[in-house]
Amino acid sequence: MFRIILGTIVLSSAAINLVNQFSIKRWMMTLILIGLAGLLYFINVFLIKYYIKKNAPTLWNKKESISGIQNWELTANTGVVPNWVSWLGILSISALITAIVLWVIALL
């Protein structure tokens, strides 16, 4: 949770600076941030699938080994997927939160 809040603070500071420096309208920055959030999310999902297939191919399936837990979920916190890939997912959440905050500010 701390990482999401930190990412939101950094992205909102950067977004406000870009809005002020380049005279971009707030609603345009909101669309840019939503696009960034979507792009980071899809890159994150692709890389997670890639690293699990590469480093733990036997766990890459949707079968449940434990009731309610699929095999690929067992790779969490084992080092199969690098931390920077997880950071991309966290940044996508932060970008979406920042976009929502900027949208609300633009409406006021």
Tens digits of per-residue pLDDT, 37-88? 999 999 998 998 888 888 777 666 666 666 666 666 666 666 677 878 888 9
**In the chain, where are the structural domains located?**
2-107
Beta bridge partners of 61: none
The pLDDT of residue 84 = 85
Confidence of residue 4 (pLDDT cuts 50, 70, 90): confident
Is the pTM of the predicted complex or chain greater than 0.75?
A: yes
